[in-house]
Amino acid sequence: AHLLQLRENVHGKDLLLNGKAPGHGDIMCNPHLASVLKELAINGKAGFYTGRVAEAVAKVVQQHGGVLTEQDMAAHKATNVEPISTDYKGCRVWELPPNGQGMTALIALNILEGFDLKSMGRNSPTYIHHVIESLRLAFSDTLHYCADPEYNKLPLDQLLSKDYASKRRSMIEKSGVIPRSKLLMSDLNLQNGSDTVYFTTADSEGNACSFINSNYMGFGTGLVPEGCGFTLQNRGFAFSLDPHHCNALAPGKRPYHTIIPAMVTSAETNELLMSFGVMGGFMQPQGHVQVLLNMLEFGLNPQDALDAPRFSLGGIKG
């Protein structure tokens, strides 16, 4: 499917070898991308959001029916945000705030903290049931409330409170699922992809970087700006088309976003304990919860915690 996307785009051939996807051992040269990186090195942000790159991006979007302009590109500003957190068994888990979906993992952990998960046994039917129901509750909140905070005031303090978690926890029964009628509904499907890249690194002084990048669904839009050597993302897919939804499509607005690098510190000393993340669209907060529980509840080391089988909610509404 990704190959077809590139073949159908006039400049998609720039990312192919003789019309085919690069194979194992093939040498792939991308001089257009090298040129863009040089411009970034020399001009910084202006080398991408203005000038010939911005012109090429706006042009290819407009050629395919979009309305992005060079002025839109020039007006874009990245923001520094304060991470959100919750405490779980002596650890403080840090996630990205809305418009990112990090709140999902934190809400689920708050709910799960009230259960004796260790006695259930790792990945036992009872354990899986409780984690799934907690994630369903967490996602129902996230899909209802998560949006660009510059456009909507979100009740984050309430959603991340232990009191709220206690109320949500009381909805979970030992057997049987929470009826969908009792969950907040959303029109956003949970699409779990495989094109995200995550890495983390740390130095001897305790500094760490938790980094994640993704074009979102599939290969993004598959649109390749002329002379640029990269494809454009399609994050706009995560907007709601319901005009009354807090995540409704609007000019200049950031959509619900899936990528969420995370960190864990000591709740008592603030010492960095771990920098981590997983890949897979809406799987990410689900993976965060399961990897953390593998370590904090069942004592697995980081490698085993990541290698262990995981389950995923996907393709559902709520």
The catalytic residues are 196
Q: At what angle do helices 31-43 and 51-63 cross, to 10 degrees?
A: 130
For residues 123, 129, 133, 134, the Cα torsion angle rounded to the nearest 10 degrees is -40
Contact (CB, 8 A) for 265 and 94? yes
Kindly list the distances between the CA atom of residue 212 and the CA atoms of 31, 55, 157, in Å, as whole numbers in the listed order: 24, 27, 26
CA separation for the pair 207, 202 (Å, rounded): 6
Burial class (CB in 10 A: 0-12, 13-18, 19+), 135: buried
Which value, in Å, is the radius of gyration of the alpha carbons in the chain? 21
DSSP state letters, 294-314: HHHTT---HHHHHHS------
* Count of other CB atoms within 10 angstroms of residue 59: 14
